Amino acid sequence: MVELEILGVRRQTDLDQVVVLLLDLQGKRLLPVVVGTSEGTAIAAGQAGLRPPRPMTHDLLVSVLATCDVAVVQVEIVALVDGVFHAELVLDNGLRVDSRASDAVAVAVRAGCPVLCSAEVLDESSLEVEEGEPETPAPEPEEELEEFRAFLEQVTPEDFEEGGHEGRGTG
């Protein structure tokens, strides 16, 4: 397993997709995961430290687990099947819970746990970051928050309906 850093959530307006960008800690491989709008929103909100007045789905899951005295210690992206990333939540009691990669990343942000990916999935799906390629600077928190707010202004209730994006590399 290779540990990944959550670089952030980006909206590809030309393709009308939301993508979570994950980078290995050596900075050599980038794993883009296409996610649904609601999952992308949940991940971005968690990264920005935004907490809604009432718990959202991923907040609720982490809270229920904590109430049961169980914690998520890490999430693992374990497979890519028919273009869909499969993940597992690894709990501190040794149990593993099947998950979509997008939900697993949203839970990881809230639980403060690492995201790992199998070497096989990285070999199959990641993009090589070339030596000497200038790194994209991380946006300032205020800039990222503004980008997120602009994203929220574009979101419609239909974006949260079931069906989402079923294509290569979806989570």
Cα–Cα distance, 20 to 102 (Å, whole number): 8
Long-range (24+ apart) CB contacts under 8 A made by 83-88 are: 83/166, 83/167, 83/168, 83/169, 83/170, 84/166, 84/170, 84/171, 85/33, 85/121, 85/125, 85/169, 85/170, 85/171, 87/171
pLDDT in tens, 55-111: 889 999 999 999 999 999 999 999 999 999 999 999 999 999 999 999 999 999 999
Query: How confident is residue 150, by pLDDT bands cut at 50, 70 and 90?
Result: low
Cα–Cα distance, 73 to 93 (Å, whole number): 9
Q: Does the pLDDT at position 171 exceed 80? A: no
Q: What is the pLDDT of residue 165?
A: 42
Cα–Cα distance, 31 to 85 (Å, whole number): 11
**CATH architecture of residue range(s) 2-160:** Roll (3.10)
> Which one is predicted more confidently, 27 or 165?
27
Cα–Cα distance, 104 to 76 (Å, whole number): 8
Q: Does the pLDDT at position 48 exceed 70? A: yes
| 29 φ/ψ angles, rounded to the nearest 5 degrees | -135, 135
Could you tell me the residue ranges of all domains in the chain?
Answer: 2-160
| pTM score of the predicted model | 0.75
pLDDT in tens, 98-129: 999 999 999 999 999 999 999 999 999 999 98
Q: What is the pLDDT of residue 164?
A: 43
